[in-house]
Amino acid sequence: MIDVKYKKGCLHGDADGFSRPEVEGQMAEPLRHNAEHLALNAITRSMTQKTTSVNQNDMSSASSTTGTGSTKQPLMTFDFGIERIREEQKKDINAQQTVKNIRHESSYIIENTVLYKLASRPRARTNLKLIYIPSSMRTEVLASYHDYPTAAHFGSRRTWTKLKDRCYWPKMHGEVESYIRLCEKCAKFNIKRTKTPGKLNPIPLPEGPMELVGMDFWGPTRQEFVNGNKYVLVVTDYLTKFIVAKALPYNTAQTTAQTFVEEFIFNFGVPNRLITDQAVHFNNELMKNVAELISFDHIKATP
């Protein structure tokens, strides 16, 4: 006999046989018999300490190894050590000029004969101390933050964001944009995320009066005039520049259609084409029905 006891769902923190599906076939048997032959890729604490104790200089000077039966191109290596930066700053004309005028340059400091730039950032209480990159090393810096495999060939905005709080040189933002704009891989493989602009469809010029008529609203005015008018509906013939204007209190679809028919069509005839923008008082079912009933082509301009 099986004694079934009720237990609330919130108390079911343990696993039971009813909640586990059965193993199909003999899948579990080989694992049980061959457990002693399984190789585990475990990382012990001592191995982690050995790995993290590797000298950073050795890592920067290391190159990729050649695999069995295949060859790999060596990874790019860069030396951004403080000693090299110090020596390259001594060769940089602009850096040395700044060092000579350091007393008059409040945004620069020198520490251990290395030139730094003091940069202020919003919401920061203190200035950032950015190392000054000499001209001979700037291409390497850009390559390490853009071309290196872990840099992922980001665009100019994200590359600039990664660089601006780490180092400095004059006109750095412009050089970042120029470098990425000339990147061959970005030009070949980067996918445009924006929609490609559509082709323009120019409207043929009218050859006579009433062939092409435009209509648009002016307003609203700051204050109401006679009869509460705040808008002016303007209808213009494109060829003759003849204008019909009507002051209106509203710019609703019904008011627009009624005014266009009564004030323009009844007095001057039906135009061949009417061009408007895509505002709701022009682009609606009522104006569509009026165009079909009176037989003129309603053209809606590209927004």
Q: Is 138 exposed, middle or buried (0-12, 13-18, 19+ CB in 10 A)?
A: middle
- Residue 190: the pLDDT is 76
Sheet with 231-237, strands from edge to edge, namely 243-248, 231-237, 212-218, 273-276, 297-300
- Residue 208: the pLDDT is 93
Reported as a pLDDT band with limits 50, 70 and 90, residue 75 is: low
Domains and CATH numbers, the chain: 82-189 (1.10.340.70), 212-300 (3.30.420.10)
Q: What is the pLDDT of residues 79-117, one digit of tens each?
A: 788 899 999 999 999 999 999 988 888 899 999 999 999
Three-class DSSP labels, the chain: CCCCCCCCHHHCCCCCHHHCCCCCCCCHHHHHHCHHHCCCCCCCHHHHHHHHCCCHHHHHHCCCCCCCCCCCCCCCCCCCCHHHHHHHHHHCHHHHHHHHCHHHCCCEEEECCEEEEEECCCCCCCCEEEEECCHHHHHHHHHHHHCCHHHCCCCHHHHHHHHCCCEECCCHHHHHHHHHHCCHHHHHHCCCCCCCCCCCCCCCCCCCCCCEEEEEEECCCCCCCHHHCCEEEEEEECCCCCEEEEEECCCCHHHHHHHHHHHHHHHHCCCCEEEECCCCCCCCHHHHHHHHHHCCEEEECCC
Reported as a pLDDT band with limits 50, 70 and 90, residue 18 is: low
- Residue 14: the pLDDT is 64
Higher pLDDT, 8 or 252: 252
First-residue to last-residue Cα distance in the chain = 78
Q: What is the pLDDT of residues 254-273, one digit of tens each?
A: 999 999 999 999 999 999 99
Taking the CB of residue 89, how many other CB atoms lie within 10 A of it?
A: 24
Mean pLDDT throughout 134-139?
A: 92
Asked if residue 275 lies in contact with residue 301, where contact means CB atoms within 8 angstroms, the answer is yes
What is the chain's mean pLDDT, rounded?
Answer: 80
Distances (CA, A) of 90 to 87, 98, 100, 138, 141: 5, 11, 12, 15, 18
Mean pLDDT throughout 167-178?
A: 93
Is it the case that residue 62 has pLDDT exceeding 50? no
- Residue 287: the pLDDT is 94
Is it the case that residue 42 has pLDDT exceeding 50? no
| % the chain with pLDDT above 70 | 78
CA atoms of 273 and 296, how far apart (whole Å):
6
- Residue 210: the pLDDT is 94
Is it the case that residue 122 has pLDDT exceeding 90? no
Q: Cα torsion for 140, 142, 145, 147, to the nearest 10°?
A: -80
Residue 122 sits at the vertex; the CA angle it makes with 116 and 125, to the nearest 5 degrees, is 70
Higher pLDDT, 215 or 58: 215
Is it the case that residue 131 has pLDDT exceeding 50? yes
Higher pLDDT, 17 or 216: 216
- Residue 276: the pLDDT is 95
Q: Which stretch, 40-44, 101-105, 245-249, has highest mean pLDDT?
A: 245-249
Reported as a pLDDT band with limits 50, 70 and 90, residue 7 is: confident
Cis bond upstream, residue 220 (ω within 30): yes
Mean pLDDT throughout 276-280?
A: 93
Asked if residue 243 lies in contact with residue 235, where contact means CB atoms within 8 angstroms, the answer is yes
- Residue 41: the pLDDT is 41
Is beta strand 243-248 parallel, antiparallel or unpaired with respect to 231-237?
A: antiparallel
Give residue 116's identity as a one-letter amino acid code.
Answer: Y
Mean pLDDT throughout 156-182?
A: 92
Q: Is 63 exposed, middle or buried (0-12, 13-18, 19+ CB in 10 A)?
A: exposed
Paired tokens of 292: 């079909």
Among the listed ranges 7-16, 49-58, 118-127, 273-282, which one has the minimum average pLDDT value?
49-58
Is it the case that residue 178 has pLDDT exceeding 80? yes
Is it the case that residue 38 has pLDDT exceeding 70? no
